[in-house]
Amino acid sequence: MTSFAPAVRNHHRTALALALCGGLVAALTACAGEDPDKGTNGIGKLSAQQIDAKTRAAADSADGVRLAGTLVSKGGTYMLNMKLSDKGGTGSVSSKKRNFVLLRIEDELFIKADADFWVHEDEGGKVSPSDQEAAEKLGGKYVKVPKDDPSYRQLRGFTDKKVLLGGLLPLHGTLNKGSRDTVAGHRTIQLLGGKGEGGALDVSLEGKPYPVRVARGGGGGTVSLADWGRAFPLEAPDKDDTVDYGGQLPKSSG
């Protein structure tokens, strides 16, 4: 009887090996055939042009968005942290020399900065007593920007959802689909302008196809987009915290 024992043990080993191999093959087969778009909004299956169209439509229809990042242009480098809606916007803008807060409600635009922001030096680097006095009055206050002031249009652009998104979202060159990733907790698919030289846009594969990050071509900066469709209050500043300058703002405000 002992002569059959090895054969029995070998039989069990063979059965176990086959079971393990069968399970491994099944697992590999499942991985190979798994749908990468399972549980997503399905835009990953679309062409680059179709994804771009749906992304823009989603962005246009959203009630609000928060933008944070850096924009590089001929006018300089700006760091933005803005909340925008169709009715206005609020947040901070910083550059190498200037830091200020903007608030817009419909067509009423306010800017808030420290006294140094309002100081205007002459060619000799001096500040007149009257300019210094004006800067001290304006510093730390919300200053209403007149609509006919040369800086109104430029400053308003930082608070305008349509203007900012219109400059951020378009990619340059032929649109192509890039890789999939996870950005700010969202599964994403990337759109590329050319091979990336025309910019890159990460689009959410979860929920609505909102853009969640954009890298502008030519080193134009990178901006994150979040809180799509989330409402936020836009309230006029207290009268005690507001100054109506009246005429054109000091030159340094530009």
Could you read off the pLDDT of 120-148 as tens digits, one per residue? 766 666 777 777 888 888 999 999 999 99
Which of 69-73, 94-98, 99-103 has the weakest average pLDDT? 94-98
Indicate whether 23 pLDDT > 80: no
By C-alpha distance, which of 86, 68, 63 is closest to 228?
A: 63
In tens, the pLDDT along 174-200 reads 999 999 999 999 999 999 999 999 999
Q: Give residue limits of the domains in the chain.
A: 44-253
C-alpha span between 13 and 19 (Å, rounded): 10
Mean pLDDT of 76-82: 94
How many whole angstroms separate alpha carbon 171 and alpha carbon 120?
A: 39
Instruction: Give the percent of the chain with pLDDT over 70.
Output: 81
pTM here is 0.80
- What does the pLDDT read at residue 93? 95
pLDDT per position as a tens digit, 61-70: 999 999 999 9
pLDDT for the residue 27: 45
Question: Which of 62-71, 127-136, 163-172, 207-216 is the least confident region?
Answer: 127-136
Q: What average pLDDT does this structure show over 163-169?
A: 94
Matching CATH number, 44-253, of 3.40.50.970, 3.40.50.1820, 2.60.40.420, 2.50.20.20: 2.50.20.20
Q: Tell me the pLDDT band of 247, cut-offs 50, 70 and 90.
A: low
The strands making up 175-183's β-sheet, listed across from edge to edge, are 175-183, 186-193, 200-204, 211-215, 222-226, 64-73, 76-85, 88-94, 99-105, 108-112, 142-144, 242-244
Answer with the residue of higher pLDDT: 251 or 151: 151
What average pLDDT does this structure show over 44-58?
Answer: 97
pLDDT tops 90 at residue 172: yes
Q: What is the pLDDT at residue 20? A: 52
How far is residue 67's CA from residue 219's CA, in Å, rounded to a whole number? 18
pLDDT at 35 over 70: yes
Q: In this structure, what DSSP letter does residue 48 have? A: H
